[in-house]
Structure 1
């Protein structure tokens, strides 16, 4: 089970009607994105250009970049525990992008660390509850 975070260039207004949404610009060319990310995150493995893997201290993040040369967004699949927020913040700074917590359709505000950390903690509590309930069944 992963905590899924969508990295995108602009914020989507979930309250506005679809016809009022501005066009969403792409993040950029896949090779350029991979080069930027691997320069800032040296242990990021991008041997498969569509799917990168980062092993952190107590966590892992899979980067679903996709098969297209022009990347609209990247879905991050975060697993484990530990201090993930600094890494997510670094990813967003590197790509000049925003991180959408797909579990509550809220953007992660890295300028308010307690609020940002709360999203990750809520997911971990939910995940642990699901796993513990599942393990109790035969």
Structure 2
């Protein structure tokens, strides 16, 4: 099933600069510490599988692809469904002192002005619904 993907990382990556000029991106932290922080802030977050967390909310679900490594450099959030998800993503970033990259437009989510992220999320939903309706 299609998802709206948001990449969570410790520092912003400059897509304009050549790769060899990019400073190394610091890790988010140790996986167990990240899981502990996130489950404290998001009590519904199910992290029975340390590589994949799962959060179900009103009308939406978010999978947290944490990976198999003990040192986590980034988390990919796979958002599905509908509803209000931007606040959940903000909570994740606030908890981890991290940034969220909307992979659909390669822009960082500005939680002070979340309208662009809301529009991207709604745009994904319209696109998804159009694709699903074409298949029927």
Q: CA deviation at 1:69?
A: 0.3
Q: TM-score, normalised on structure 1?
A: 0.95
Looking at structure 1, the residues matched to 103 and 117 of structure 2 have their Cα atoms a distance apart, in angstroms, of: 13
Runs of 4+ residues over 6 Å off in structure 1? none
* Structure 2 runs not aligned, ≥5 long: none
- Normalising by structure 2, we get a TM-score of 0.97
Q: How many residues align?
A: 135
Deviations 1:64-99 (A, max 9, x none): 000100000001100000000010000000000011
Q: Alpha-carbon deviation of 1:113?
A: 2.1
Quote the residue 2:127 is aligned against. 126
Corresponding residue for residue 61 of structure 2? 60
Q: Residue 13 of structure 2 corresponds to which residue in structure 1?
A: 12
Q: Which residue is equivalent to 1:111?
A: 112
Q: For 1:128 and 1:109, how far apart are their aligned partners in 2? A: 26
Matched residues in 1 for 2:127 and 2:107: separation?
Answer: 17
1:86-97 equivalent positions in 2, closer than 5 A: 86-97=87-98
Question: Within 2, Cα distance between the matches of 1:78 and 1:108?
Answer: 15
- In the alignment, structure 1 segments of 5+ residues that lack a partner are none
Per-residue CA deviations over 1:40-87 (Å, capped at 9, x if unaligned) read 000000000000000011100000000100000001100000000010
